[in-house]
Structure 1
Amino acid sequence: MPLSYEHQVSLLTDILNNHQTDCCGSVAECEQLERLIKSLMVNTQIDAGVKTVLEEVYRYSQGGRNSSDLDSHILSHQNQLAQWVEDIGQLS
């Protein structure tokens, strides 16, 4: 059973919140972010502002997936993580 738009956004923000509060994460979480974003981006009713944020998060997740030090990657994006969660919450 596929996740609804609301559940996808909730899962996306949960992972980003965990990265922000824990300052660590896993490659699997980065891959999950990418899958969620790909799924959300095909939604024709999604707001353009949300798409912009999703594109930024996608680049972040790709960087994390390919990083030799994922925790440092997450730590270096602390301000963006908080902003993305806020932006997605306001726009979705």
Structure 2
Amino acid sequence: MNYHHQLQLLVDILHNQQDENYGSHDEFEQMEHLISNMLENNEVPDEVKAALMSLEQFSYQHDKEGMQSNFTSTEIQQYLRKLENFVSK
């Protein structure tokens, strides 16, 4: 799976969380795994990696600190805009 596919999967997870106003532990774990893989991938541009690091902090905060449902649609939308821009390139 190349990083474009991984980005699309990340976008799909975020859309699901936005629709449900909730992110499960498994979803955050999957996000963290995808992000970690992409951060280690030399093919991923630095601009994408910067967005991923921000999303990684969001994911960690909401999963590890037990805040799975404590986020807003606006918060998710900012990540979706960034990632969807990279997916469409």
> TM-score range with shorter-chain normalisation?
0.7 to 0.9
TM-score, length of structure 1 as denominator length: 0.82
Given candidates 32, 43, 60, the residue that maps to 2:30 is 32
Please give the root-mean-square deviation of Cα atoms over the aligned residues, in Å.
1.5
Structure 2 residue aligned with 1:89: 84
Given candidates 37, 46, 49, the residue that maps to 2:47 is 49
Q: For structure 1, which runs of at least 5 residues remain unmatched after alignment?
A: none
Structure 1 residue aligned with 2:2: 4
CA contact (8 A) 1:47 1:91 kept: no
Q: Which 4+ runs in 1 deviate beyond 2 A?
A: none
TM-score, length of structure 2 as denominator length: 0.84
CA contact (8 A) 1:12 1:36 kept: yes
Task: Determine what percentage of the aligned residue pairs are the same residue.
Answer: 28
| Count of matched residue positions in the alignment of Structure 1 and Structure 2 | 87
Q: For structure 2, which runs of at least 5 residues remain unmatched after alignment?
A: none
For residue 58 of structure 1, report the CA deviation from its aligned partner.
0.4
